[in-house]
Amino acid sequence: MRITVAHFGTHYVDMPGGVEKLTCYLSSDLVKKGYDVTVLYRDGMEGDPHFPIDSRVRQFNILFENGHKVVSEKLPFGLRAYREAARLFSQKRAQGINAEFKGKQYGPRIRRFLNEYPADVILSCSAPSTKYVITDAGYQGPVITMFRGDPAVQLPLLSDEEKEAVAKSAAIQVLWPSKVEVAKTYFPHVPVVAIGNAVFPAKYQADPGSEKEKHLISCVGNVSGRKNQKLLAHAFAALADRYPDWIVEFWGEKSSHYARSMEEEIKAKHMENRIFLKGKTSHIEEVYRRSDIFCIPSTSEGFPQGLAEAMSAGLPCIGLKTCGGTNELIQDGKTGFLVDNDQGVLSEALATLMDDANLRIRMGRTGHELVQQYKPDRMWAMWEELIQKVSKV
């Protein structure tokens, strides 16, 4: 069977995101099982993905031809200005402008690759990707559309053109069983299947109950408003004098305005030696191993990969009770704590774990056992079953 993965998000090359991880590992597993797999992506550059991928998987950037960029991923200046003006009144309309123009750009390029490398099934990594494949490239075979975030957040923002395309999907994949009915309210005639992210066994196990010179609270993710890292910084700063042997490390891209503002606030509180924005790393397993608590203050998530990895390493975790994904993985009082988006409440939860090494150990072990249900082989088998099913429809 010939399978194409349509990854037409903003970045693919060296991008350490969840959908990129799925693309690389799932494609590699399918190739090993004898499938013919092609990845079509768009990016402003050509190069290798961040994650390992089997050399038998073909990868093509639809914006490039013979090493030269032939299609721009950016809207013309006038249309960008129009889009941003429209965004002031309707995010949905702004997304529609994006989808319409880029579809005209990408459709012929996608069609050219599909003619050269035909697909029996296409795995689309997003609703816009589905629109480009079905509406703009004219693909008529089965398409599985993934919703990698929270459908309750994503679906209301889809343009009419994107909704029309997704409605033609052979199936929709969501990350959690609780999101199946949400998707069905928008697409009642499309089968919806829940398949979580694969959680790989931790390279190292943490030791959150041991005596250390410095205890560590870690937080992993690009520093941004949605990730809400300032909440953790403020909550810890309120506790710092009580716990002089504890520090906080934030790991992830820190080039945003939010990150710069956060660094300024840390300096203003004279916490530069206790709270650190460390940037990106290719050795995140080492961070989990050194950690005693993992905190994810995000306000919105799909399947929070960093949280799942921390749980796999045996760390107790704290997150927001209103954050989808986070509130699916963390079992309040068992694997960690779910709290309100409030500095005082988060400080209290942190202090509870900082005070009790045995509690950290117990919650960490329980979390480690919980994420075993997301072992890669099990997730890849679920994907293969879905692909086989839609290919026979």
pLDDT tens digit sequence for 26-73: 999 999 999 999 999 999 999 999 999 999 999 999 999 999 999 876
Write down the pLDDT at residue 105: 85
> What whole-number distance in Å separates Cα of residue 63 and Cα of residue 9?
12
> What whole-number distance in Å separates Cα of residue 283 and Cα of residue 197?
20
Write down the pLDDT at residue 296: 98
Give all domains of the chain, ordered by start, each with its CATH number: 2-197+376-391 (3.40.50.2000), 215-374 (3.40.50.2000)
**Verdict on whether the full-model pTM lies above 0.85:** yes
β-bridge partners, 68:
65
The single-letter code of the amino acid at 124 is: S
| Cβ-contact 197, 380 below 8 angstroms | no
Write down the pLDDT at residue 85: 61
Confidence grade of residue 18 (pLDDT, cut at 50, 70, 90):
confident
The residues, any chain, with a CB within 8 Å of residue 273's CB and separated by 6 or more, are none
392 pLDDT higher than 90? no
Write down the pLDDT at residue 76: 58
> What whole-number distance in Å separates Cα of residue 260 and Cα of residue 376?
37
Average pLDDT of the segment spanning 269-277: 97
What is the residue-averaged pLDDT of the chain?
93
Average pLDDT of the segment spanning 158-171: 95
Write down the pLDDT at residue 72: 76
78 pLDDT higher than 80? no
- Give the pairing of strands 215-220 and 192-194: unpaired
pLDDT tens digit sequence for 181-199: 999 999 999 999 999 999 9
> What whole-number distance in Å separates Cα of residue 171 and Cα of residue 183?
11
